[in-house]
Structure 1
Amino acid sequence: MQHIVNDHILINGQRIAHGIHGTGEPVILLHGTPSSSLIWRDVVPRLTKAGYQVHVYDLLGFGLSERPRDPAVDTSVSAQGPVLEALMNHWGLESAHLIGHDLGGAIAKRLAIFRPALARSLTLIDIVSFDSWPSPRTRELMAAGLEKMITASDADHKAHFREWLLSAVQHKQPYTDGPLDTYLEFISGPTGQASLFQHQISHYDPKHTLEVADRLDELGALPVRILWGADDAWQYPEWAHKLHAAIPGSELTILEDGGHFLMEDQPDEVSRHLIDFLDRQTTRKNRAANA
C-alpha cells in the first residue's frame, strides 16, 4: 500500500519515518500497536481538505521507522515522548493538536501532562490507560515467554498474528483486502518478528499509564475529545467512560460498529468527529484573539 510517511530523520541516532501533508493549523497523528501511521491513511486527506496541516510518523520500533537491532533500546511509551518532542522541534512546531490511538494516545496524554504548552487540544481514540493493558490474551502470551514466540516458525507466527489483527476490526473483508498484509509484514520476517516482541510487546507495561493516572484531571485545562469503538475487543468501552470521568470537561463519543482499529472500520465518522472538534477549537481561538 502507499504509505503516508515520505521522509526520514535521525533522532538520537535512530531513524524515524515521518511526513507532512497540507497546510493550516498543525495536527499530529500518533498510531499504536501493532500498526503504523498507515492506519491514518483515510483520515489524512479528509483533515487536509478541511484546512489542517497533518504531521504523521512511525513510532521508533514500528512500521517504516528503525527497528533497533539492540533489544536494550527503550521504545516504551515513556521513551517515545522525547522522540515526539524532537520531531516537533524538527517540524518547527511550538504546539499542535494531538490525536492519538492506542499506545499513541498514551504518548500524547503524557506529553499533554508533562509538557502542556505543546498541546493545543487532545483527542484520544481507543487508547490504553490506567491498567487496561496488556489485554488478558497478551498477558498469556507474555507469560509463556517471548523468546519462544521470537523463534516460532514464520508460518506459525503469521497465522497467529493474522488472526490477532483481524480481531481489531468489525469489517473484516475490506481490512483483509486492504492493509492487513502490510501490517502483518511489519511484524514478521527476520527483523519484524523479533522487533515485535523486543520493541513492542516487551514494553506493554501499565506503569507508563498508571504514572499519570492521578494527574488526568490536569487535562481539564485542555479541550479533550474521546472517541471509542463500541465493539473494541482490545480496550473495552468501559475504559472510555473511566477516562471521560477522570478528565473534567472532556467529550466522549462511542461509535457503533467499530472495533479497536476504529479508523479502519469507520474512517468517515472518525474524520467527521475530528474535524468538528478541531474546527471548534480554531473558532474558539479566533474569537479569543479578536476579543
Structure 2
Amino acid sequence: MSFLDRHLIVDGSRIAYRDRGDGEPVVFIHGTPSYSHEWRHVVPGIEAAGYRVITYDLLGYGDSERPLDKDTSVGGQTELLGHILDALGVERATIVSHDIGGAIGQRFALFHPDRVARLMLMDTVSYDSWPSETWQTIREHIDEYVSISPQEFEQLLTKQLRMTVEDQAAMEGPELDAFLWPHRTGVGRASFFQHQVSHYDSTYTQEIAGRLGELTAPVRILWGEHDRWQPLAYAHRLLRDLPNASLAVLPGAGHFLMEDDPEWVAREVLDFLRDGER
C-alpha cells in the first residue's frame, strides 16, 4: 500500500521514505491514525513542479520500523526529523504537516528556526485540542484495548477513520483498506497502541503554546470546515497567535483534507511555495 520506496537507518532505526527532485526541499509529515499514504494524491504534483520532495513514515508508523525501545512521542519524532534531514543532506526545508505531524512541525520550527523556510499546518493538533474524548478514554484503558480481537480493533479504527472525511464514500472499500493495512497484523495492532495512541498527549503542544509568537517563518494554515476532531476555532486561534500566518478553509471538508479534495490541497501547497519565491 505504501508509495514510499526507500529505507534509511537514522539513529539506529529504519525509516521508510520517498525522495524525488532536485529543487527546493519540501518535507511532508503525516498525521494519525495514518501514514504517508495520505499524501499519495498530493506529493506527485509537488514533485512535478520541480521541488525536491521528501515524504516519510514516522517511526512506529506505516512501513517504518516499529521499535520496542525508541521514543516515538511527538518530542522524539521532532528530534528524529532533524536527524533525517541531516542524513539526507538537507539544511533547510519547507515543512508541510498534518494532524500530529503539525505538532512536530510547530516544535521543529520553534526549536530550529534556521532550518524551516516555511511551515504549512493542516488540521493540526494544537494547544489543548487533543486527544478527543474517545481517544483519551482508550488511552486511559490502553491495556484493555491492546487485547481486543482483530475484528473489534478493525471496527474501532474503521469508525474513527470514517469520521475523518466529509464524504463517507471516500473512506470505503480499497481506500479504507489502505488506511487499515498497517494494522492488520498482531504487530501492527500492538504498534498502533504503543506508538500512536499512548502518545496522544497535549503536553507537547500546550508547553509551546506561549511561544508561538516566536515563530516568524511564514505559516499557511489549511482547515476542513467540518473537521470533527480539530474544530475550526483552533485554526483561528493559531492565526491570531502566529505572527506571519494566513488561513484557508475548505468548505464541506473534514479532518483528512487530502482525501476530501487533494487537488485543492496540492494547489494550496504550490501557491504557498511560490509565494515565498516572489
- The two structures have a TM-score, normalised by structure 2, of 0.97
Q: CA deviation at 1:48?
A: 1.5
- Take 1:239 and 1:273, find their aligned partners in 2: how far apart are those partners? 20
- Take 1:156 and 1:175, find their aligned partners in 2: how far apart are those partners? 18
The aligned residue for residue 197 of structure 1 is 193
The aligned residue for residue 148 of structure 1 is 144
The aligned residue for residue 122 of structure 1 is 119
- Take 2:91 and 2:176, find their aligned partners in 1: how far apart are those partners? 35
Q: CA deviation at 1:4?
A: 2.5
Per the alignment, in what secondary structure is the counterpart of residue 228 of structure 1?
A: strand
The aligned residue for residue 244 of structure 1 is 239
Q: CA deviation at 1:265?
A: 0.6
User: Percent identity at matched positions?
Assistant: 42
The aligned residue for residue 76 of structure 1 is 73
Q: What whole-Å deviation, never above 9, does each CA across 1:110-168 have from its counterpart, x for those lacking one?
A: 0100000110000000000001000111112223x111111101111111111111111
The aligned residue for residue 131 of structure 1 is 128
The aligned residue for residue 208 of structure 1 is 204
- Take 2:197 and 2:58, find their aligned partners in 1: how far apart are those partners? 14
The aligned residue for residue 255 of structure 1 is 250
Moved more, 185-194 or 105-114: 185-194
Q: What whole-Å deviation, never above 9, does each CA across 1:46-65 have from its counterpart, x for those lacking one?
A: 11122211100000010000
The aligned residue for residue 164 of structure 1 is 160
Moved more, 48-57 or 167-176: 167-176
Letter in 2 for 1:85: G
The aligned residue for residue 286 of structure 1 is none
- Take 1:79 and 1:199, find their aligned partners in 2: how far apart are those partners? 11
Per the alignment, in what secondary structure is the counterpart of residue 282 of structure 1?
A: coil
The aligned residue for residue 170 of structure 2 is 174
8 Å CA contact 1:23–1:48 kept in 2: the answer is no
1:282 aligns with 2:277: yes
Aligned length: 278
RMSD (CA atoms) = 1.2
The aligned residue for residue 47 of structure 2 is 48
The aligned residue for residue 39 of structure 1 is 38
Q: 2:109 aligns with which of 112, 125, 131?
A: 112
The aligned residue for residue 102 of structure 1 is 99
- Take 1:148 and 1:82, find their aligned partners in 2: how far apart are those partners? 31
Q: What whole-Å deviation, never above 9, does each CA across 1:52-82 have from its counterpart, x for those lacking one?
A: 11100000010000112x2x53210010012
- Take 2:22 and 2:158, find their aligned partners in 1: how far apart are those partners? 37
The aligned residue for residue 66 of structure 2 is 67
Letter in 2 for 1:142: R
Q: CA deviation at 1:14?
A: 1.3
8 Å CA contact 2:10–2:87 kept in 1: the answer is no
- Take 1:232 and 1:187, find their aligned partners in 2: how far apart are those partners? 24
8 Å CA contact 1:34–1:187 kept in 2: the answer is no
- Take 1:150 and 1:230, find their aligned partners in 2: how far apart are those partners? 33
8 Å CA contact 2:27–2:94 kept in 1: the answer is yes
